[in-house]
Every structure is written in C-alpha cells, then in structure tokens.
C-alpha cells in the first residue's frame, strides 16, 4: 500500500466550479500535512499546511481527519490559473512523502 494515495484524475471542471480532492495516508504517526501545487515541468510549491481543526486560505479549504487518516482540499470559485497538479504530502521530523498528485484542469 502506498504511503499517500490520491486519485490521479484528471479532473476537468468549468471555471467558477467548486472542486474537491481527497487523499489518504497510511502512516498514523505522521505529524504534518500539506497540500503542494505543481505546474507542468516546475518544482512543487507549498499551497497550504493542513491542521486538525481545518483551515482556510481564501478560496482554498483544507481538512484533516486523523481518525480516518484522510486529508481533503476544497477549491471554491475555481480560476483558470488553478490548473495544476495538486500533491498531498505528509511529513515527519524531516522527510516529506508525496502523493502521486491529482491533475486539475479548469476550462473557460
């Protein structure tokens, strides 16, 4: 079983739609959780950290369910510029473990 599992997509949604991504992780000892965004042929960039209480940053909302070992990302009012691959990541003291990524395309 992979340490981090994501639906690879691709997701194609119209501009303005709300889209949700899910991710499960297998290591119950994981301490930190993140969503990264990766554009084609570029390095990943941190989108947001994920906290147990859930957190929101503008149009983006992240949730963590430790009991179910499940992380989610919600994007509201999607923009064309949101098109990218979204990587679910968990980390311990040093290492980051990346999911395969979910590819999202926002259509005009």
Partner 1 sequence: GAVVSQHPSRVICKSGTSVKIECRSLDFQATTMFWYRQFPKQSLMLMATSNEGSKATYEQGVEKDKFLINHASLTLSTLTVTSAHPEDSSFYICSARVPSHNEQFFGPGTRLTVL
H or E element at residue 48: strand 44-50
Task: Name residue 19's beta-bridge partners.
Answer: 75
Site residues, partner 1 (CB under 8 A): 4, 8, 32, 41-46, 49, 87, 91, 94-101
Longest dimension (CA), the chain: 41
As measured in angstroms, the least distance from the Cβ of 16 to partner 1 is 28
Q: How many residues does the chain have?
A: 108
As measured in angstroms, the least distance from the Cβ of 56 to partner 1 is 19
**Residue 15 or 49: which CB sits closer to partner 1?**
49
**What's the token pair of residue 53?**
């209480």
As measured in angstroms, the least distance from the Cβ of 86 to partner 1 is 12
**Residue 67 or 93: which CB sits closer to partner 1?**
93
**Do 82 and 75 meet the contact criterion of CB atoms below 8 Å apart?**
yes
């Amino acid at each position: 079983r992979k340490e981090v599992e994501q639906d690879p997509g691709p997701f194609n949604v119209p501009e303005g739609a709300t889209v949700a991504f899910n991710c499960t992780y297998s290591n119950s000892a994981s301490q930190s959780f993140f969503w990264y965004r990766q554009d084609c042929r570029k390095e990943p960039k941190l989108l947001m950290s994920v906290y147990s209480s859930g957190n929101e940053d503008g149009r983006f909302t992240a949730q963590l369910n430790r009991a179910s070992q499940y992380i989610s990302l919600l994007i509201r009012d999607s923009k064309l510029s949101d098109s990218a691959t979204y990587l679910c990541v968990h980390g311990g003291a040093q290492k980051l473990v990346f999911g395969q990524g979910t590819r999202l395309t926002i259509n005009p």
